């Protein structure tokens, strides 16, 4: 069930509904497509009111394209036939021109006469995208479009799909539980929890300026340190004293928790503040260290991978943070 779900996309923008399984993001997509009726609220496409509690436009009238999680390709049709499927009302020459153009756009011009079962997962994804784009939809919906692909291909296709949509000026909305997909594809991202939209914002703001503890936990990695308000707009915690906009509304002595991202904690051999390495994860160019502070609280730090410290080793750290985010 969806509650108080309100957001908008400008023409040519790519949006994303991001959240854990069962949060309502696919239900929202189905309601926009016309597969789920709504009991309250309104859905508009441009100037058209396509759904309300009183009236619902059928899916075929909304001019919406959809890329499904399992692609839903027709096995008895060639790649060309799949892409041309929704173009039956066009003259043959125009239909063939449109199909050829889209196959070129998605990099499958040499596979027009292949059957889809002979294609890789990434190629099938491109066929599904070309088929959805063929009728020039007013809005393109993508339901977990890369969930069946391996991690490396998923990341590459995310960037390719964004480039294709932007080149064609297509307005699109996808749903995913994968924040890396959301960051790679979308201009605006909405984090959902329990049928509600917690925050609709740019990826940068979701990461650095989360509106709630749930958003802070769900987007990116980080740790929370106990803090207390020591003056209007001032917080004190184990790594120092910092100004914090969110502390202005609380009286001195109020307990809060400060959010620290891995890029807020820098490795600095010259620092007098030491932390002990308790975990390390190799990420190629960097290590993600879990560091224990003198109090026993832990923080995360991204460190260039040529600084290969052992578990149990104490290293110098310093806090470098542009703005402090804290929650009660």
Q: Are residues 48 and 129 in the same domain?
A: yes
- On whether residue 168 sits in a domain, the answer given is yes
- pLDDT mean over 82-86: 90
- On whether residue 26 sits in a domain, the answer given is yes
Alpha-carbon distance 258 to 137, whole Å?
45
Alpha-carbon distance 4 to 303, whole Å?
41
Q: Are residues 247 and 174 in the same domain?
A: no
Q: Are residues 102 and 162 in the same domain?
A: yes
Q: How far is CA 282 from CA 12, 26, 131, 141, 246, in A?
A: 38, 34, 40, 36, 34
User: How far is the first Cα of the chain from the last one, in angstroms, to the nearest whole number?
Assistant: 28
Q: Are residues 157 and 279 in the same domain?
A: no
Among 325, 299, 315, CA closest to 222: 299
Mean pLDDT (the chain) is 91
Q: Are residues 164 and 238 in the same domain?
A: no
Q: Are 14 and 186 in contact (CB under 8 A)?
A: yes
Q: Are residues 94 and 239 in the same domain?
A: no
pLDDT band at 82 (very low <50, low <70, confident <90, very high): very high
Alpha-carbon distance 46 to 219, whole Å?
30
Question: Which domain covers residue 314, as residue numbers?
Answer: 222-327
CATH at 271: 2.40.50.140
Q: Are residues 178 and 270 in the same domain?
A: no
157, 190, 216 — which closes off a domain?
A: 216
Range of weakest confidence among 17-26, 143-152, 220-229, 295-304: 143-152
pLDDT tens digits along 94-132: 989 999 999 998 888 899 999 999 988 888 988 999 999
Alpha-carbon distance 57 to 184, whole Å?
32
183, 216, 249 — which closes off a domain?
A: 216
- On whether residue 3 sits in a domain, the answer given is no
Q: Are residues 274 and 175 in the same domain?
A: no
């Amino acid at each position: 069930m969806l509650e108080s779900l309100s957001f908008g996309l400008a023409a040519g923008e790519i949006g994303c509904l991001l959240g854990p399984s069962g949060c309502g993001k696919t239900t929202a997509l189905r309601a926009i497509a016309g597969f789920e009726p709504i009991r309250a609220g309104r859905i508009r496409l441009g100037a058209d009111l396509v759904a309300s509690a009183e009236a619902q436009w059928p899916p075929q009238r909304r001019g919406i394209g959809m890329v499904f999680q399992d692609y839903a390709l027709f096995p008895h049709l060639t790649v060309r036939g799949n892409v041309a499927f929704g173009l039956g009302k066009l003259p043959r020459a125009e239909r063939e021109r449109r199909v050829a153009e889209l196959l070129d756009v998605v990099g499958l011009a040499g596979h027009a006469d292949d059957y889809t079962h002979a294609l890789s997962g990434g190629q099938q994804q491109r066929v599904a995208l070309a088929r959805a784009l063929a009728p020039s939809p007013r809005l393109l919906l993508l339901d977990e479009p890369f969930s069946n692909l391996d991690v490396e291909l998923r990341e590459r296709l995310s960037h390719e799909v964004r480039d294709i949509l932007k080149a064609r000026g297509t307005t699109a909305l996808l749903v995913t539980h994968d924040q890396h997909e959301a960051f790679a594809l979308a201009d605006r991202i909405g984090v959902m929890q329990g049928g509600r939209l917690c925050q609709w914002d740019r990826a940068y703001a979701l990461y650095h300026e989360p509106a709630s503890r749930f958003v802070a936990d769900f987007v990116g990695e980080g740790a929370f340190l106990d803090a207390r308000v020591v003056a209007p707009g001032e917080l004190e915690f184990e790594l120092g004293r910092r100004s914090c906009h969110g502390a202005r509304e609380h009286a001195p002595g109020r307990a809060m928790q400060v959010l620290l991202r891995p890029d807020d904690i820098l490795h600095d051999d010259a620092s007098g503040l030491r932390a002990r390495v308790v975990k390390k994860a190799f990420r190629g160019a960097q290590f993600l260290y879990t560091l224990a502070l003198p109090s026993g609280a832990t923080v995360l730090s991204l460190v260039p991978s040529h600084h290969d410290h052992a578990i149990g080793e104490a290293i110098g750290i310093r806090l470098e943070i542009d703005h402090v985010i804290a929650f009660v």
